[in-house]
Amino acid sequence: MHDILPKEEKYWKAAYHTAENLAEHFQFGRIESPLLEEASMFVRSIGKGTDVVDKEMYIFEDRDGNKVALRPEETASVVRAYIMHGMWNMVQPVKMWYWGSMFRYDRPQAGRFRQFNQVGFEILGDADPVQDAELILIAHNFYKDLGLPVEIHINSIGVPEERQKYKTALVEYYRSKRSYLCDDCKQRLNKNPLRLLDCKQERCLPIKEEAPQIIAWLEEESKNHFMKVLEYLDELSVPYVLKSTLVRGLDYYTRTVFEVYPVMPEGDESALGAQSALGGGGRYDLLVEEMGGKSAPAVGFSLGVERSVSALKQYLDAQQIKFPTQQVDVFLAQLGDQARRRALKTINELRTSGVKVAYNFSKNSLKSQLETANNLQVPYALILGQKEVQDGTIIIRDMESGVQEIVDQKKVEHLLKKKLSRFDVNAK
């Protein structure tokens, strides 16, 4: 568990607004699902034998004896809502996005928490590869807009019939290497062979790299689908890396799967480096029907917010780039009790009119308050003392030139907006 402190808020706010802007631009509607769902829903959708179901889900009985779970991911909840609310009757595809807390009993380590946040985008009701490409573009743009370089790892895992043939070849290959495998992979070999390709243990990596590639077992339709996705990405200039061992950790995926990795400066791949995905997704054409709905193809992805923020901070620190703070228009300095009372009213009046005001009531000296204004790089400071309160005036100070003018308090809003307009590109 972890706290998100006020000093982190600027990164979280930027991430949320970036996702929100992308959602509006690409016409996704926001969905909020319950934190608690029936446990069987996740077992059915994510799949037995996966780490999420076998090791990580928080499952318990409520007072009525029902088995419920804290959601470990949200795709299953989105599909449940699509079915429950008859969204297949709407114009297809249905495009939804979400932002919220997930829960997994994970080993605490850098970028991994038992309560964590994800942002995700889902498109239901269309099998066209253009939808796969659109979502990968959104994931790419999310990090591009935040200022974090990433690369997309992509693969196709085909449909169940193709995967079954591939699993047979994979098991045959791994059985001859069984004595070299880690304990988890020895279990995966019998329970869920595709999960062998998820392993990050060093002893298993050389074996994984030499494993058969699923592309050789794909039929023409799956190959064509994958090639069209790649053609769209080429047209969109979205960089990607083909990864034949990429399968993702959830059973519901079909065909396209992808993951997003941060690109750190050379020599700085600690903490959240090249081995840690920020998120990923893929196509899940069979999940809606498997969960009791009418057949509907779908594709989606989710990104870990904590991981993304951590990677962004690490990248900015390595590049010695200062993350932009929230823009403040003016700083209000006050001197004395009367001025402090009047200052609070002035701050609220300016806020109502759309002017962003910074202030610090714990500081009494004008010098220290103007130093704060200077550090915030505001273009103007307002100065309010006892005399100004009595006269009904206020001082506007140009922080660059130091020039001050005394104005009527009733006119300060109009004068400030006029002065600030020269800094607003959109106002010209």
Question: What's the pLDDT tens digit per position in 320-361?
Answer: 887 766 678 899 999 988 888 889 889 988 888 888 899 888
Q: Is 174 annotated as a binding residue?
A: no
**Average pLDDT of the segment spanning 38-44:** 81
Q: Is 393 annotated as a binding residue?
A: no
Hey, what domains does the chain have and what are their CATH numbers?
A: 6-158+218-319 (3.30.930.10), 330-423 (3.40.50.800)
Q: Is 397 annotated as a binding residue?
A: no
User: Of 173, 172, 177, which Cα lies nearest the Cα of 201?
Assistant: 177
Average pLDDT value over all residues in the chain = 88
Write down the residue that tokens 């934190």 correspond to.
35
Q: Specify the pLDDT at position 130.
A: 95
Q: Is 351 annotated as a binding residue?
A: no
Counting Cα atoms < 13 Å in the Cβ hemisphere of 148 gives 31
Q: Is 75 annotated as a binding residue?
A: yes
Q: Is the pLDDT of residue 268 over 70?
A: no
Q: Is the pLDDT of residue 426 over 50?
A: no
Phi and psi angles of residue 373, each rounded to the nearest 5 degrees, phi first: -60, -40
Q: Is 245 annotated as a binding residue?
A: no
Q: Is 235 annotated as a binding residue?
A: no
Q: Is 109 annotated as a binding residue?
A: no
Q: Specify the pLDDT at position 143.
A: 95
Grade residue 162 by pLDDT with cuts at 50, 70 and 90.
Answer: very high
Tokens of 106: 């994970």
Q: Specify the pLDDT at position 55.
A: 77
Question: What contacts 96, CB < 8 A, 6 or more positions away?
Answer: 28, 29, 30, 31, 78, 121, 122, 124
Q: Specify the pLDDT at position 326.
A: 63
**Average pLDDT of the segment spanning 147-167:** 93
Q: Is 314 annotated as a binding residue?
A: no
**Average pLDDT of the segment spanning 214-242:** 94
Q: Is the pLDDT of residue 193 over 50?
A: yes
Q: Specify the pLDDT at position 249.
A: 64
Tokens of 399: 């922080």
**Average pLDDT of the segment spanning 197-219:** 89
Q: Specify the pLDDT at position 425.
A: 41
Q: Is the pLDDT of residue 318 over 50?
A: yes
What is the value of pTM for the model shown? 0.81
> pLDDT tens across 371-401, in order?
988 888 889 999 999 999 999 999 999 988 9
- Upstream peptide bond of 93 is cis (omega within 30 degrees of 0): yes
Q: Is the pLDDT of residue 83 over 90?
A: yes
**Average pLDDT of the segment spanning 173-200:** 87
How far is CA 107 from each of CA 12, 104, 114, 280, rounded to the nearest angstrom?
Answer: 23, 9, 8, 20
Q: Is the pLDDT of residue 269 over 60?
A: no
Tokens of 260: 């997003």
Q: Is the pLDDT of residue 120 over 60?
A: yes
Write down the residue that tokens 């037995």 correspond to.
48
Q: Specify the pLDDT at position 427.
A: 41
